[in-house]
Chains A and B, each alone.
Chain A
Amino acid sequence: MTSNHRACLYAALGPDPRLRATWERYHLIGQVLRGEQVKPQVRAVAAAVRAWTDSVLSDPRRRAAAVRPRAWRPLFAGAALAASAAFLALLLVPSRYRKPARVAPAALAGEMPRPPRGPPLGHGPQ
């Protein structure tokens, strides 16, 4: 049975409640034959989950929220927020509160503008 055949079968299976019931009973027969415990009331689980998916997936916004891996979303969102805050802090905080850089006095002196040199006193042209 090729994958295309199976795909067509699944497509036919999904919307047909009678075929879905048959699918369930065939699995159930196998479980009973293998001696596994089978409880008829458990069949309510599938109905409840189906009702949930129907209600959630009919709303696109709830659908997007439902199929997203929620467990990781707050973690990633928090990490991204923290990283953004840290980046902004690096950018902004030093510029506002930066202390004046200490410069060696010698260097400072070396960089001070020298007064313009005039002619030596007493040595002017006579």
Chain B
Amino acid sequence: MRYTHSFHGLDQGFLLFLGARGRISTDQRTNQARNCLCHLSQGWQWGRPERRSVSVSDGDVDQDLVQRAQSGDKRAFDLLVLKYQQKVTNLIGRYARDQSEVLDVTQDAFIRAYRALAGFRGESAFYTWLYRIAVNTVKNHLVAQGRRPPADDVDAQTAEQMDASGRLRESATPERQLLTDEIARTVQQALDALPEDLRTAIVLRELEGMSYEEIGAAMECPIGTVRSRIFRAREAIDRRLRPLLEP
């Protein structure tokens, strides 16, 4: 089998990744898997699920990972935690006071979710289910502390929309706040530095929530080109972001 296809197509890249396992270097394999990840990590956005029509939706990915976790694959659950830890922390930060408390309750919420995972039947989206567990966990925590939880809940979608302006009710250390700001600034600078076609593609994808097909129609290019542009845009941003996050 010869591997002469473009690495940027979703299926092509993935098949290359699979077919070449054991035949190419680890770095090359990793790059191919990163290409696939690029597509898997682009699920629909909260608030506008109707605009996504890609074949692999965020819900599909979550469902896959949940099923794998239910069958005993602990790394699958790890991927779900990696995906949702920021969202759940932001949510719990609306109820709890300080950073360490928020992180502890977030951890507890994920552990409770893991324990209850066998009972998750997929009748709702995974994040909706996880959101309810997180809210119950933080409310129980507040009651155990002798504090009164807020009477009114925000629903999952509203909480998601509030993330943009919400801040944890805590005083982050200057270093942490600096790093938080630097991450946002780095991503913005990387976005600004992208060639216009790559920037447009990823903005339409991430901010407008458009499907590959819709982006292709808007940019008047084939879907394969859209995939390639989004992949390259993510790679360019990631190259700048990685040094900040890796020790």
Whether B114 contacts A33 by the Cβ 8 Å rule is no
Q: Which of A1, A35, A40 has the most CB of B within 10 A?
A: A1
Q: How close is B190's CB to chain A, nearest CB, in angstroms?
A: 9
* Complex interface: chain B residues within 8 A of A6 (CB): 40, 56, 60-61, 64
Complex interface bits, A36-52 against B, C-beta within 8 A gives 1, otherwise 0: 11111111111011101
* Complex interface: chain B residues within 8 A of A37 (CB): 86, 90, 163-164, 166-168, 180
Whether A45 contacts B79 by the Cβ 8 Å rule is no
A19-74 with Cβ < 8 A to chain B: 19-46, 48-50, 52-54, 57, 66-71
Count, chain B residues at interface, CB 8 A: 80
Whether A42 contacts B164 by the Cβ 8 Å rule is no
Whether B87 contacts A30 by the Cβ 8 Å rule is no
Whether A53 contacts B74 by the Cβ 8 Å rule is yes
> Main SS of the interface on chain B?
helix
Residue A120 interfacial (CB < 8 Å): no
Q: Per a CB cutoff under 8 Å, which of B14, B111, B114 touches A1?
A: B14
Whether A70 contacts B115 by the Cβ 8 Å rule is yes
Residue A15 interfacial (CB < 8 Å): yes
Whether B118 contacts A67 by the Cβ 8 Å rule is yes
Residue A7 interfacial (CB < 8 Å): yes
Whether A20 contacts B79 by the Cβ 8 Å rule is yes
Whether A26 contacts B37 by the Cβ 8 Å rule is yes
Chain B residue nearest to A26 in the complex (CB): B41
Residue A8 interfacial (CB < 8 Å): yes
Q: Per a CB cutoff under 8 Å, which of A14, A39, A53 touches B86?
A: A39
Whether B245 contacts A20 by the Cβ 8 Å rule is no
Q: Per a CB cutoff under 8 Å, which of B11, B76, B115 touches A67?
A: B115
Whether B184 contacts A46 by the Cβ 8 Å rule is no
Give the CA-CA distance A16 to B17 in the complex, in Å: 14
Chain A residue nearest to B78 in the complex (CB): A50
B162-217 with Cβ < 8 A to chain A: 163-164, 166-168, 172, 176, 179-180, 183-184, 187-188, 191, 202-203, 206-207
Whether A25 contacts B241 by the Cβ 8 Å rule is yes
Whether B78 contacts A14 by the Cβ 8 Å rule is yes
Whether A42 contacts B85 by the Cβ 8 Å rule is yes
Whether B99 contacts A41 by the Cβ 8 Å rule is yes
Do A45 and B107 form a contact, CB below 8 Å, given A5-B15, A6-B40, A36-B86? yes
Give the CA-CA distance A66 to B17 in the complex, in Å: 35
Residue A96 interfacial (CB < 8 Å): no
* Complex interface: chain B residues within 8 A of A3 (CB): 64
Q: 12 A-B contacts, Cβ less than 8 Å apart?
A: A1-B14, A5-B18, A8-B14, A9-B37, A10-B76, A21-B246, A32-B188, A39-B168, A39-B176, A46-B78, A48-B107, A67-B115
| Chain A residues near B (Cβ < 8 Å) | 1, 3, 5-10, 12-16, 18-46, 48-50, 52-54, 57, 66-71
